[in-house]
Amino acid sequence: MNQRMKRIGIWTVLGGIILFGAGCVGVAVVGGTAATAVYLNGELSYAVSVPIEKVWKASEAVMVDKKMKATEKSIDNMDRNRVIKGKTREEKDFQISLEAKDKDVTVVKVRVGFFGDQDKSLEIIEAIEQKIKKG
């Protein structure tokens, strides 16, 4: 799949999140790139052109770096959905959800706290993005 098609896919996914979601919507620029993250109902969503396995490994590495403790990890639906739940260093609940939209497109959703914390969620997504870039 060429780069143009991946970008169209990512924008389609994010557009669907905006159109079919309800509640407060915010948009944030991630990592200083042209990519955007959508903040909806306390959850920050971000699509990346990377296979789910690579995003999973990056998410686990970020948890170690940020001293976050996992209380639950799950992989289901024929390995198209993965979830990590746990506590941040500040003892806030968090959840990182990954959904494979294609073999090379993964949607990352992060929620920190019961009502959501946009700044902390963005911090986690940016850290995941940096881990992905480092390989």
pLDDT for res 13: 62
Amino acid 16: pLDDT: 60
Average pLDDT score, the chain? 84
Let me know: does 66 contact 88? Beta carbons within 8 Å: yes
Structure token pair of residue 135: 């390989």
Yes or no: say if 120 and 112 are a contact pair by the CB < 8 Å rule.
yes
Domains recognised in the chain with CATH numbers: 3-134 (3.30.310)
Nearest to 79 by CA among 100, 51, 109, 57: 100
Residue 50 DSSP symbol? S
What confidence score (pLDDT) does residue 22 get?
A: 45
d(CA 118, CA 6): 26
Residue count (the chain):
135
Question: What pLDDT digit, counting tens, does each position of 60-102 carry?
Answer: 999 999 999 999 999 987 889 999 999 999 999 999 999 999 9
pLDDT band at residue 36 using 50, 70 and 90 as cut-offs: confident
What are the tokens at 93? Answer: 């609940």
Of residues 26 and 99, more confidence is placed in 99
Confidence tier at 119 by pLDDT (50, 70, 90): very high
Question: Would you state the structure tokens that stand for residue 115, as one six-digit string?
Answer: 């009502």
Q: From CA 50, how far away is CA 131, in angstroms rounded?
A: 12
CA–CA separation, 23 vs 42, rounded Å? 9
Task: Fill in the amino acid letter for 70.
Answer: A
Under the banding of pLDDT at 50, 70 and 90, the label for residue 34 is very low
pTM for this predicted structure: 0.76
The pLDDT tens digits of the residues spanning 43-65 come to 999 999 999 999 999 999 999 99
